[in-house]
Structure 1
Amino acid sequence: MQREKVIIKPYLTTISLDPENQGTPIHFSDDWITPEPLFFLRNHYPYPPITPESFKLTVSGEVEEPGYFNYEQLLQMPSKTIVLPLECSGNKRKEFQPPTFGTQWDDGAISQGVWTGVPLRDLLQFSGLKTSACDIVFEGHDSGKIVGLEGDHPFARSIPIDVALHPDTLIAYALNDKPITYKHGYPLRLIVPKWYAMASVKWLKKITILDEPFDGPYQALDYHYFPYEDSDEDKVPVTTMKVNTIIQQPLPQSSLDPGIHLIYGIAWTGEGIIDKVDISFDKGASWLKTKLRQDQSETYSWTVWSYIWDVNKKGKYTVMVRATDTTGREQPAHVTWNRLGYGYNGISTINLQIV
């Protein structure tokens, strides 16, 4: 009897279940667009219930006409579709030395999607944005306890007015050409290009326009680079993504035969675009250019890089990869430590052996 062919597929990598945090199997996904079942999940709280109120998005504060937009209205408005990766600011947190507290992500807290929605600036202009507007606050339906604080707190973040008015900042209702799934923020999610994903608030409930900076707990107490263990001095807010790479294949600690091997991965940045990706086999003493594959029509998408390695000498090798973007930012050899473990972007490094 002929055996059935067994198809082996990658699955999300569980980081925690309460709340649910799951990583994309980034080393086993060659898709330009991450399939929704493999899109990473980052939550601060349990999933919120979906009620009729979930389909109304209120706008209030420094606007001439406060009110709400319902889901069907948004579907009828002029839309925009963009391709971009979302990266959790804690991606690669496990790389920091000494270790930091927080969700212990490896390198799977990044995924790339096709997002469709209404430009936020259209809603703000329709509502009559006042000249006094300073900060735009986005609150989700999810809420819960925060250690050290009393009561329940919604997940709420703000972005400055110039970012809010960017034509590609979206109130999204579709992911990969289908309605956003429940776990990824259905029915509405904010999408902020080039910023770490904490800005892209899920299960969007209301937008509040302030005439002063927002000081909610996820804005003032969290999502900052704190350079000192026991002091908040010199803290800097987490905003745009740093230039970064992942070596998808080969896997770390792989044993390979002599011969030709394809080394490949992805690179991305929150400023400009990826300009080059270099690779080293001698611990950074010299660097070689990799081949880049970019979609020039997509302003924000990640870049695929690859290198054909012809190796015949047996032994142990250290493979290092670094990216540079068009603003001149380059992955550093030494990453500045921060207390909450955000924004790790050191040179990607794996060890291999040829046997």
Structure 2
Amino acid sequence: MENKPFLITKKLQPENQESPIHFLSPWLTPAKYFYRRNHFSYPPLTPRHLWLQISGNVSQPRSFHLYDILSMQAKSLILPLECAGNKRAHFNPKVYGEQWKDGAISQGKWTGVPLAHLLGQTGICNQTKEVLFEGVDFGRKPNKEDMIPYKRSLPLETALHPDTIIAYMYNDKPIDYKRGYPFRLIVPNWYGMASVKWLTKIELINDSFNGPFQTDDYVYYPHKHNDHDSFPVTTQQVNSIIQQPLPFSLLNTGVHEIKGIAWSGKGIITGVEISLDNGDTWQRTVLERLNEPYAWTKWSFLWHVEKKGEYSIYARAKDSQGRIQPIHAFWNRKGYGYNAVLKVNVKIE
């Protein structure tokens, strides 16, 4: 009987689970292994949630039924969604929040209709600055009494990008309930908080939205005790992980494959290097890409090792914008965007 991995539980209420990313090799993450990030309990859905309402600064407010959207020309994208708090557990000094390790990221094929196409049918009034998205899920934030829905906005330019889509399928099947059925916003290159699940309302606004998931959470706060120099979390950092070998593995002498994945929210991955001498020298790995503009890159390296002892394996990725993983992460008190070079320690016996 084949052994299979499981999701890694971080919290049950609301449910937050990591993907077993170190044991997944397909380009497309099966739905059952897709990481789960929730701020609230799963929402109750009714037939009215099969409608998507667009209002605000539009010429003609409209509501689109799921069947209306299914009848439109579709677009498919393969891309990774990554929680902004992915790798938070690696920060030093430690920060509060869900202690994600490496698995708050998954990649799949999303199919839907470009948001720009829907907005073309409602019209966009002058002075529109942002597009506001509201999910069905709701609840209370800690130390708050009021019930609030999950709401976030995008700059109009990002919302109108041809690859910002209203998705209704994942890996060629209807999006399942826990991943946002029936509608999920998909925003390529941005961290996952932008891809609102259970999407029910879209509103065009002429100012900057300042809801709690926009101007409190998902903000980089560089200082521990004040909000000076803060700025919003948006696109993914250049990043990578070592999938195999696992940390603190016991290995024999011989040939071992070191492998992993790399991704970036700006441009493409142009190289991944590994170091086996604590960063003194770096060696190139072999890259494997899909013909998809947003997909992560697989990388591998054959390590010939004959000398017994303890080793540290470092990996760092570079992208086409000239960004490279730093030795030290940009510390921020909510623990977003960790992308420092990670190391895996192994012992050759």
In which range does the TM-score fall when normalised by the shorter chain? Answer: over 0.9
- TM normalised by structure 2 equals 0.99
Q: Does 1:181 align with 2:171?
A: no
Counterparts of 2:342 and 2:319, CA distance in 1:
16
Task: Work out the number of aligned pairs and report it.
Answer: 349
Q: Does 1:337 align with 2:322?
A: no
Counterparts of 1:335 and 1:14, CA distance in 2:
25
Report Cα offsets for 1:70-115 as digits up to 9, x if no partner. Answer: 1110000111001000000000000001111111101110000100
Query: What amino acid maps onto 1:352 in structure 2?
Result: V
Work out which of the residue numbers 6, 29, 33 in structure 2 matches 1:34: 29
User: Hey, what does 2:97 align to over in structure 1?
Assistant: 102
1:194 is paired with a residue whose SS is: coil
Unaligned runs of 5+ in 2: none
Offset at residue 336 of structure 1 (A): 1.6
Q: Does 1:138 align with 2:151?
A: no
Written as runs of structure 1 = structure 2, the 5 A alignment for 1:242-257 is 242-257=237-252
Counterparts of 1:67 and 1:177, CA distance in 2:
27
Counterparts of 2:194 and 2:21, CA distance in 1:
22
The alignment-based identity, stated in percent, is 52
Report Cα offsets for 1:255-304 as digits up to 9, x if no partner. Answer: 11000000000000000000000000001000000000011x20000000
Written as runs of structure 1 = structure 2, the 5 A alignment for 1:150-189 is 150-189=145-184
Report Cα offsets for 1:26-85 as digits up to 9, x if no partner. Answer: 011111100111011100000001101110111011100012111110000111001000
Report Cα offsets for 1:138-177 as digits up to 9, x if no partner. Answer: 0000000012333101000111011000000000000000
Report Cα offsets for 1:163-196 as digits up to 9, x if no partner. Answer: 0000000000000000000000000000000000
Query: What amino acid maps onto 2:105 in structure 1?
Result: I
User: Hey, what does 2:295 align to over in structure 1?
Assistant: 301
Report Cα offsets for 1:291-337 as digits up to 9, x if no partner. Answer: 00011x20000000000000000111110000000000000001121
User: Hey, what does 2:307 align to over in structure 1?
Assistant: 313
Counterparts of 1:126 and 1:213, CA distance in 2:
24
Q: Does 1:119 align with 2:114?
A: yes
Q: Does 1:348 align with 2:342?
A: yes
Report Cα offsets for 1:175-218 as digits up to 9, x if no partner. Answer: 00000000000000000000000000000010011000101110
Query: What amino acid maps onto 1:168 in structure 2?
Result: D
Unaligned runs of 5+ in 1: 1-5
User: Hey, what does 2:80 align to over in structure 1?
Assistant: 85
User: Hey, what does 1:3 align to over in structure 2?
Assistant: none
| Runs of 4+ with deviation above 4 angstroms | none
2:32 is paired with a residue whose SS is: helix
Q: Does 1:12 align with 2:7?
A: yes
Query: What amino acid maps onto 1:127 in structure 2?
Result: T
